[in-house]
Chain A
Amino acid sequence: MPILEVRNISKRFGDTEVIRDISFSLEKGETLSIIGSSGSGKTTLLRCLNFLETPDNGTITVNGEVIFDASDPASRSEKGIREKRLHFGMVFQSFNLFPQYTALQNVTLAGLLLAKERPDYRARKNEIREEIINNAKAILDSVGLSSKLDHYPHQLSGGQQQRVAIARALALKPDILCFDEPTSALDPELTGEVLRVIRELAERETTMIIVTHEMSFARQVSDNVMFMDDGVIVEYGPPEQVIGNPREERTKRFLERYFENGNS
């Protein structure tokens, strides 16, 4: 059974249909990269999965459980959404760290708030808090930031901030981790450290969906690549096919333009 199944998702803003009839599935441990020019709908798709946008049509199923069904008004209620969106983690292009909290506090904040809803929270308060904090420290260590626990976001470089953001998403143990152009806001010399962390996650079989412009990176880490254009999936398959030897004319043109512009 796939961990994620997306069926016939569409989303329109006013008169523009940003994504149309998108269907795909994802196996546990799989890394999927989504490529395409800006405006192709790839970010909107990711935002639909994280309930930052509500699709107009379609269903989203995680681990066999339908977590969103556009035809069922109950699945749009605010209360249900909060729990369901925890299936997904999200790393934003612009990091979106909380500026008034240290790196460690950024990673622990949501977990500590969620823990208060646990029935055993009162009885085991200190134990639970310690667990969450130790877990956060271990994750920050794994992204190479054990020496920056008490630094505030403005004291960190862009690459370090994005690694904190990745740690923050990982701390809630999402089933599927989504990245929305995680290196697009970074200076070129800082992209490497973030890509390295994502590559390590892929090696540890983290289930991931990565919207990216880094073709060679996508080719290396992905199990599958999706090329989107004008709101639809044009080509889907292993990276050797979609990036290495595309079948569709639109994919070929996109990649030609991409490599002509001096990228590699």
Chain B
Amino acid sequence: MNIYISSLFEGFWLNIRLFVLTLAMAIPLGLVITFGSMAKFRPLKWLVRTFVWIIRGTPLMLQLFVVLYAPGLLFGVPMKSRMTAAIVAFVVNYAAYFSEIYRGGIESIPKGQYEAGAVLGMTRSQVFFKVILLQVIKRIVPPMSNEIITLTKDTALARVIGIAEIIMCAERFTKQGLIWPLFSTGLFFLAFNGVLTIVLGWIERRLDYFKV
């Protein structure tokens, strides 16, 4: 019994690591992609939008394989570790989704907010950081919460490139004829997402004091 449980915990630790690292890098990278997709310079804008279309238009599972094998096959520099490949694929995939959420948030702020700041003699960066940003954050918290919760479950996909995350660990026992470890993995995700829901709800409530 103990050996099963500790194996599942070991696997889930990989899910959590993948989750945390992906979030930590995809949140800022998404902003960079947003600025690219909103650039005034047309070629850059279309390049970035095409990239986002490809990333959002193909399965994450396929992207995991591409990131693992393409560097070795195309450029002769094989991926050093499977975990690195998984992190790269997850970060790029989620950054593309985040960038569209950010863009929607920024574009939903009425032009009048920028104009009101401008006529009061504020600089462009003052307008963005003092007026626009918090309104954008408030607007994107609900859709971001959705993506973040989806990410916890997507980390299980990493097993297709041989990462021993929780479901892969559980499947080993299934092959030995034991089914309950596999089913119990659901509880790990549920518990984790329960905590996450509470944290995200708290952030949402913290921004409840104003309406946009």
Check B119 for interface membership: any CB of A closer than 8 A: yes
Please give me the residue from chain B that is nearest to A101 by CB atom.
Answer: B210
* B116 A92 Cβ-Cβ under 8 A: yes
Other-chain residue from A86, A92, A113 in contact with B112 (beta carbon distance below 8 A): A92
Check A110/B121 contact, CB under 8 A, given A98-B131, A99-B210, A100-B135.
Answer: yes
Please give me the residue from chain B that is nearest to A89 by CB atom.
Answer: B119
B2 CB, min distance to chain A CBs, angstroms: 52
A145 CB, min distance to chain B CBs, angstroms: 18
* B211 A98 Cβ-Cβ under 8 A: no
* A52 B121 Cβ-Cβ under 8 A: no
A152 proximity list for chain B (CB < 8 A): 209-211
Interface size of B in residues (CB-CB distance below 8 Å): 23
Check A212 for interface membership: any CB of B closer than 8 A: no
Check A98/B113 contact, CB under 8 A, given A152-B209, A154-B211.
Answer: yes
Check A168/B211 contact, CB under 8 A, given A96-B113, A99-B135, A100-B135.
Answer: no
B136 CB, min distance to chain A CBs, angstroms: 11
* B115 A52 Cβ-Cβ under 8 A: yes
A105 CB, min distance to chain B CBs, angstroms: 10
Check B126 for interface membership: any CB of A closer than 8 A: yes
A231 CB, min distance to chain B CBs, angstroms: 22
* B126 A52 Cβ-Cβ under 8 A: no
> How would residues 13 to 51 of chain A score, 1 for a CB under 8 Å from any chain B CB and 0 otherwise?
000000000000000000000000000000000000011
B70 CB, min distance to chain A CBs, angstroms: 44
Interface size of A in residues (CB-CB distance below 8 Å): 28
Check A82/B121 contact, CB under 8 A, given A96-B112, A98-B116, A113-B130.
Answer: yes
Please give me the residue from chain A that is nearest to B121 by CB atom.
Answer: A86
> How would residues 142 to 175 of chain A score, 1 for a CB under 8 Å from any chain B CB and 0 otherwise?
0000000000111000000000000011001000
* B118 A85 Cβ-Cβ under 8 A: yes
**What is the CA–CA distance of A78 and B118 in the complex, to the nearest angstrom?**
11
Check A123 for interface membership: any CB of B closer than 8 A: no
* A114 B121 Cβ-Cβ under 8 A: yes
**What is the CA–CA distance of A51 and B119 in the complex, to the nearest angstrom?**
8
Check A168/B134 contact, CB under 8 A, given A96-B112, A152-B209, A154-B210.
Answer: no
Check A109 for interface membership: any CB of B closer than 8 A: yes
Check A72 for interface membership: any CB of B closer than 8 A: no
B172 CB, min distance to chain A CBs, angstroms: 51
* B113 A52 Cβ-Cβ under 8 A: no
A92 proximity list for chain B (CB < 8 A): 112, 115-116
Check A113/B122 contact, CB under 8 A, given A98-B131, A152-B210, A154-B210.
Answer: yes
For the complex of A and B, 10 pairs with smallest distance between CB atoms: A110-B120, A96-B116, A96-B112, A154-B211, A90-B119, A100-B210, A99-B210, A86-B121, A100-B134, A152-B210
Known: A50-B119, A109-B130. 17 other contacts (CB 8 A): A51-B118, A51-B119, A52-B115, A52-B119, A82-B123, A83-B121, A92-B115, A92-B116, A98-B113, A98-B116, A98-B131, A99-B212, A100-B210, A113-B122, A153-B210, A154-B211, A172-B121
Q: List 16 A-B contacts (CB under 8 A).
A: A50-B119, A51-B118, A82-B121, A83-B121, A85-B121, A94-B112, A96-B116, A98-B117, A100-B134, A100-B138, A113-B130, A152-B210, A153-B210, A153-B211, A169-B120, A172-B120
